[in-house]
Amino acid sequence: MLASMRPVIVKQKHVRAVSRGHPWLYRQAVEERPRSLRPGATVDLASTGRGFIGRGIWEPRGPVAARVWTRRDD
């Protein structure tokens, strides 16, 4: 994983939306996240099985937790 030491883990029922290209990860879709994330941090998103599903920018406030810009891990 390139972006973060530990990924943001996405709840299983929300993985499909990100995998299909939805550009937002809503706050209620986050299962687990590193505590030290700062606004604007680049984050890797992973499924509960720890598989990479996307990369985006973290937003600690508001309904959208991350804005996804790629589903590629390179």
Do residues 14 and 50 touch, judged by C-beta distance below 8 A?
Answer: no
- Token digits of residue 34: 């590193």
Write down the pLDDT at residue 48.
84
For 8-59, write each residue's pLDDT tens digit. 999 999 999 999 999 999 999 999 999 889 999 999 999 987 699 999 999 9
Do residues 31 and 18 touch, judged by C-beta distance below 8 A?
Answer: no
What CATH class has 8-70?
Answer: mainly beta
Do residues 50 and 7 touch, judged by C-beta distance below 8 A?
Answer: yes
DSSP structure string for 14-72 = HHHHHHTT-SEEEGGGEEE--TT--TT-EEEEE-TT--EEEEEEE-SSSSEEEEEEES-
Quote the pTM value: 0.87
Parse the chain into domains and list their residue ranges: 8-70
